[in-house]
Amino acid sequence: MAPMGIRLSPLGMAVFCRWGWASSTTSTLGFLAGRFAFFMLSERGRPRPEAPHGSAPGGAVDLRELLAVSVLAAVRGGEGVKRVREGNVLNAKAKGKTREGAEEQLTTGDLLSNRRMFYLLKGAFPAVQINSEERVDTADQETVSWDHSIPEDIKQKIQPKEVPAESVTVWIDPLDATQEYTEDLRQYVTTMVCVAVNGKPVIGVIHKPFSSYTAWAMVDGGSNVKARSSYNEKTPRIIVSRSHAGKVEQVARQTFGNKTVIIPAGGAGYKVLALLDVPEKNQEEADVYIHVTYIKKWDICAGNAVLRALGGHMTTLTGEEISYTGSDGNEGGLIASINMNHKALIEKLPDLEKTSHK
């Protein structure tokens, strides 16, 4: 029964219920709208989490930051190389043979440097592909972090530049000239980092652990090293691997004359530095760097980037550009020069390419 004897018709009951539902819904919506407005106002005043250093929204990396970390990685790796050598705890062992049949050496210095360099770079740039000469053992990680600082000389010379992370490949050589390292020929030893974008080398870092000298350069950016001003294109000084001196000497002298100087040396990093103006008393000087056999890309990528940044060239013996994607080896040998007619050099040394696949 309705109150006071009033009987509600079915139509009246329906109108009453609908009015009650509408009032309840309006009240609920008003409450939710108020809560949403409060949430938005609160969010405006709340600091948002920063994107990880080395990366940016959209999966990009800043090449200036990557250069800074690459320099630090080469130095940190070099500290390990130096410590092992000076402590005479190399624990050298053979890890295999080169295509020429020479034993490749692996030392504690290689492994320690590799761990430091790899994990520093990977921690700062987790989305970037990193290729290293030595295998990375995930069970034996090296804790090395980046404090996000950029050295003043890099800040002054290099502007920020973002590129997609998927376009970047980093090549690490944790100890270049391991054979010479075991023989205590310290001047040849370097640690190197190279950054390639879409296969082209754009950042190169070459560090000499035993003198603490570091050369770095970025294509279309800047560098802390310069090319030498004097070259002799008619009778160049040609720097080659110690084991290849005989292969190059005969052809070079036939091409350039008997006054051509052949400089046997260890380490691809050292050979590239020989083409530059390097303030190092133990650094030899050369006009051309030639390698006549197969060579790994982590050996040459950093030097290639430095030369490109300074207007120089590093190509195969037939003049082809070397791509730093895909396989880790370069089949075509190499010839490197700066402030010289690179094409003319290639044309003068046609016979060397025949030996590059042997």
DSSP annotation string for 299-353: HHHHHHHHHHHTT-EEE-TTSPBPP-SSSSEETT-EEEESSS-HHHHHHH-GGGG
What are the structure tokens assigned to 60, written together? 């990009």
E strand or H helix at 213: strand 213-218
pLDDT of residue 286: 95
Please pick, among 107, 108, 169, 178, the residue that the annotation labels catalytic: 178
Q: Which residues of the chain have pLDDT under 70?
A: 1-58, 96-102, 137-143, 350-358
- Beta pairing partners, 105: 94
pLDDT of residue 192: 98
Contact 294, 329 (CB under 8 A): yes
pTM: 0.82
Contact 306, 217 (CB under 8 A): yes
Provide the annotated binding site for Mg(2+): 133, 173, 175-176, 299
Q: Which residues contact 152 (CB under 8 A, 6 or more apart)?
A: none
Domains and CATH numbers, the chain: 60-225 (3.30.540.10), 227-354 (3.40.190.80)
Q: Is 183 helix (H, G, I), strand (E, B) or coil?
A: coil
- Compute CA distances 179 → 2, 107, 184, 312, whole Å: 104, 10, 9, 28
* Residue written as token pair 């018709």: 9
Contact 172, 193 (CB under 8 A): yes
pLDDT of residue 141: 67
pLDDT of residue 258: 86
**Catalytic annotation on 140?**
no
**Catalytic annotation on 178?**
yes
Please pick, among 62, 107, 110, 190, the residue that the annotation labels catalytic: 110
Provide the annotated binding site: 133, 173, 175-176, 299
pLDDT of residue 253: 84
Contact 111, 211 (CB under 8 A): no
- Return the sign of the alpha-carbon dihedral for residues 280, 219, 78, 266: negative
Considering only the C-alpha atoms of the chain, give the largest distance between any 2 of them, rounded to a whole number of Å. 130
Encode pLDDT of 42-57 as tens digits.
433 343 334 444 554 4
